[in-house]
Structure formats: C-alpha cells, structure tokens
Amino acid sequence: MAFVFDDTKLIDASEKGYQLLRAAHVRIDDTAGIFNVLSRSFPDLGNAMADIAEVREIDLKSEVGSGHLHAELWNGLIKITLRIEETEDVLAQDAPVVLALEQELLFMREVTNETPFPMWQVDSGGHISWANTTYIKHVEHIKQTGHLTWPLPHIFGQAAPSTLLSPTSTERKSLEHSAQDGAKWFDVHSQKTRDGVYFYATPADEIVSAQENLSSFTQTLTKTFAQLTQGLAIFDSDRNLMMFNPALVRLTNIPAEKLCVRPSLWTFLDSLREQRMIPEPKDYHSWRDEIRSLETAAETDSYCKVWQLPSGLTYRVTGRPHPGGAIALLIENITEEISLTRRFNAHLEQNQAILDCVDEAMVVFSPSGVLVQCNKAYREMWDSDPDQTLIEFTATNALKDWRKKTNPSPFWGELQDFIYQGSERSDWVGTVTTLKGQKLDCRVRPLMGGSTLVSFVFGATENNMPGRPKELPLRA
C-alpha cells in the first residue's frame, strides 16, 4: 500500500491503499482520519512525521502483526509505503470475523464522530494519536485553515505528566475560539488506557456561568452584610457558624479570629458570656435551658428577646430559621432606642401629671377625631375614662356621651363639624346646660397639626351659688 501527500493533503494512493481507506470508511480528504488508521498499527508515526523534514526518511515496524512502514521526503512530497505480510491469506481465512470487526469499527467510528463533545487520545510521547470529528472541527475553527498538520495540536493545552500517569482525572479548562466567540469552558476528563491516555471534554459553560452568578451574588450579600449596623450570625444545620458580618465583632467584642474557625452555637454563646455580653443567669442549668430555648425558638421563627446587659447596654436578639435547617441570629444595639423611649414616656407622664393638676376639664382630639389625651378633671366631670376602653375612643363617642348628660343644644353639632373639618379654624366658646340645670362653658381651641382642644368649666354664677360644689360630676 502506498500513499503520497503534498504537505498534509493526500494527492495519490495505490489501489490497495484506496481499499484500506474504503474498508476503514475514511474519506480521501480526511487527513486526520487517514493518520488515525495508520497510527493504530504505528503509534510513533505522529512523532516520526514531525521530524521527517530533517531526517527525510523513516522506517517503522508495526506493533500489531508483522507490518512495516517506510516514509520518505522527495521533491516536497511525502510517500508512505505500507507492507503487511500474508494479508490476503488472513482475510480469506477469517472473512466472517473481519466483516464483524469492520461492522463494529464502523459503528464505533460513527458514534465517536457524532459525539457533540471533543474526544482524543494521547500516546506515551504526549502526542495526539487519534481524535474525533468534533475535536478536528475545533482545531479547524481555531486555526482557521483548511490544511491540518499531524499530529494535531493540543487545543486544551499540553497534558501535565501527572495527568498522563494518573488513572483518571478531571480538570476545567477554557477554550479560546476567537475574539467574538469568547472563551468556552469544558471539563476535561482523562482515562488511562493500554495505548495511552484517552480524553473527552464536556461543555461547562452553564456551570461556570452559574458559579460566576453565585459568586457575584455572594459578594453582593457580603457587601450588604458588611454595611449592616446589626450583628448577623448564621449557623448551619450542625449549628456551626458559617457566616458573620463585621458588626457582630463590634457588638460582641469577640475577636474575628475566633469566629473564623466556625465555632458552634454553644461555643459562640459561651464566648458571649465570657465577654459579659449576655444576661447573667442565676445558675448554669438555667443558662443551658436558655440556650436550648433560643435554639428551639429560632427554628420556629419565634425567638425575639431584649437582653439587659450588666454594662448598661440593651440588645435585641432575634432568631430566624433558614433553609436546610440553618438558623440566623440578629443582634441589635437598641440602647439609644430604649433610652429615647423611656425619656419620651417620662415626658408623657410628666405632661399628664401637669394636666391632671389643672382644675379645668380638658380633652384633646387628633385630626381624625381620635381622643388622644384627657386630664383627671375631665374624667371626673363626665364620669368617663377613655383609657379603659378596648376600642379606639373618638369624638363621635364623646359627643354621644355629652349629649346624654346635657339638654339638647346646636352647640354639639357645631363642635363635631369643627373637630372633623380641615379648614382654617379659630378659638370659640359655647354654653350648654346639664340635666341638673348647671351652665357649662365650653372653650374650643385649634391646635397645631389639625388637633382640637376642648375644655369645660362650670359657669361662674353656678359655681358661686351657696352650697354648690365648684365642680360636680355629670351623670345621666
């Protein structure tokens, strides 16, 4: 059998050479396929052909059977002569076996060539001795030329010695196609065989994209957590710390080095106890019970407690469940909030005490007509305590009570319109008569923000009558 190549292009062959290509189902323009067929019996052919320009003539002996290959460079052409002894006798004697082998070879060749991901084999010298159609298409696309040299280039990079010696391995690599295509990622798997190392590369673009998106999302969360003023500690299903933010270090005084080693929930809370950043229990048993209740309540999204620390600080600790059995603890310093609330409550109590010292009955309604404040004189005069009602007490409720304890008067309707109207208003005074005949002066004052102050005082004549108390409760 003889083959003549101009560079890597087959330009002629003997009759038996063409028969070999037809038997192997290889097209005459498939240079890589031709060298694949020849390399099966002569694995060193790729290395030898790389040096033929210098040595000009090579001789190889088949590693399978008694074949012999001779190649020589002549006037820029390469002639390969292949001699196989007693080939026709063997084919004649084992024709059924050869036919079965050809059918199996055809099936395997179709499978490998139709496989959508690259497959190739590397011999002991590190050169590619076989490749499927997909690999060759990648080479053509990268090289952007119709002439391929043998052996084929390593488009995924030269395999490391450790990979060639390892029984199996997997490595993720990028394949640079062109500027407009960008990089395509593959998981390159290797399997050591008797004749070398077999490789196949499966696409990994979606996995790489998902990992990049996850990394970007994690970085975004990390930056967000880093800016939180609340301390965040997330414990996995085994109750080991898997994430925390800088605010946690600042609030708990636990060194970041301790948190980076992923302590357990118990160790973390013990560290808080050592730093006196947790309410001191009466004994250790009650402390352990508190920890168990924290863990159980956090799993059901029901843990929220205020910790009064020995240092005077006040922390609010909230437990939240996370997917997969994890829990998150949110620690917030609410010392200023508590202090402000206390000052505000004290201010309200002081204002209420001042109002209660005034003899004049006073009541305040919000712009929407809700009773927001009244003094002791009002409660005694009208025998009513709005603070004891379970529902919202409004001006409508108050007016209904006032009408029951006084004679009919158009003043109440005018007062109702005044309380609920939003237009510009001014002070005015009206007088009503109680069921007992007492004159009651009512002063109405608009307040800032649309609120209304209504004050009541008995008429001067009635108050100065002999034997009549200064103020009498009005009862229906």
As a whole number, the mean pLDDT across the chain is: 81
How high is the pLDDT of residue 455? 94
Evaluate whether 81 touches 67 at the Cβ level (below 8 Å).
no
Average pLDDT over residues 159-179: 77
pLDDT for residue 141 is more than 90: no
**Tens digit of each residue's pLDDT (9 = 90 or more) over 62-84:** 876 678 899 998 888 899 998 87
- Predicted pLDDT at 288: 67
| Cα→Cα distances 276→257, 270, 272, 291, 454, Å | 19, 10, 6, 15, 52
Residue 200 has pLDDT above 60, yes or no: yes
Q: Which tokens sit at 350?
A: 């002081």
* N- to C-terminal Cα separation, the chain: 129
Tell me the C-alpha distance between 43 and 45, whole Å. Answer: 6
Residues with Cβ within 8 Å of residue 436, at least 6 apart in sequence: 472, 474
Average pLDDT for residues 387-405, to the nearest whole number? 89
Flag the least confident range among 11-20, 286-295, 344-353: 286-295
How confident is the model over 310-355, as pLDDT tens digits? 888 899 988 888 777 888 888 999 988 888 888 988 988 898 899 8
Residue 276's contacts (CB-CB under 8 Å, 6 or more residues apart) are 309, 310, 311
With a cut of 60, say whether residue 193 has pLDDT above it.
Answer: yes
Using alpha carbons, select from 121, 141, 105 the residue that is nearest to residue 46: 121
Task: Quote the CA–CA distance of 411 and 432 in Å, as a whole number.
Answer: 7
Query: Above 80 in pLDDT, residue 283?
Result: no
| Mean pLDDT (whole number) for 48-71 | 83
Residue 399's pLDDT is what?
A: 94
Per-residue pLDDT, 62:
81
3-state secondary structure of 77: strand
Query: Does position 439 have pLDDT exceeding 60, yes or no?
Result: yes
Residue 131 has pLDDT above 90, yes or no: no
Alpha-carbon distances of 2 from 5, 38, 69, 157, rounded to whole Å: 10, 12, 10, 34
pLDDT at residue 430, as a whole number: 92
The CA-based angle 397-402-406, given to 5 degrees, is: 155
DSSP string, 364-427: EE-TTSBEEEE-HHHHHHHT--GGG-SSPPBHHHHHHHHHHTB---THHHHHHHHHH--S----
- Amino acid code (one letter) for 445: R
**116 touches 200 (CB < 8 A):** no
Of 15-19, 264-268, 406-410, 472-476, the one with minimum mean pLDDT is 472-476
| Interval 402-414 mean pLDDT | 93
In the chain, % of residues over pLDDT 90: 20
DSSP class of 474 = -
Beta bridge partners of 6: 9, 77
Pair type for strands 183-193 and 168-176:
antiparallel
375 phi-psi bin (left φ>0, alpha ψ -120 to 50, beta other): beta
Sorted by where each starts, the structural domains of the chain and their CATH numbers stand as: 2-203 (3.30.450.20), 228-333 (3.30.450.20), 351-463 (3.30.450.20)
Residue listed under structure tokens 């065989």:
193
Q: Of 41-45, 100-104, 444-448, which gets the smallest average pLDDT?
A: 100-104
Query: Where is mean pLDDT largest: 58-67, 92-101, 204-213?
Result: 204-213
What is the pLDDT at residue 374? 92
| Residue-level pLDDT at 476 | 42
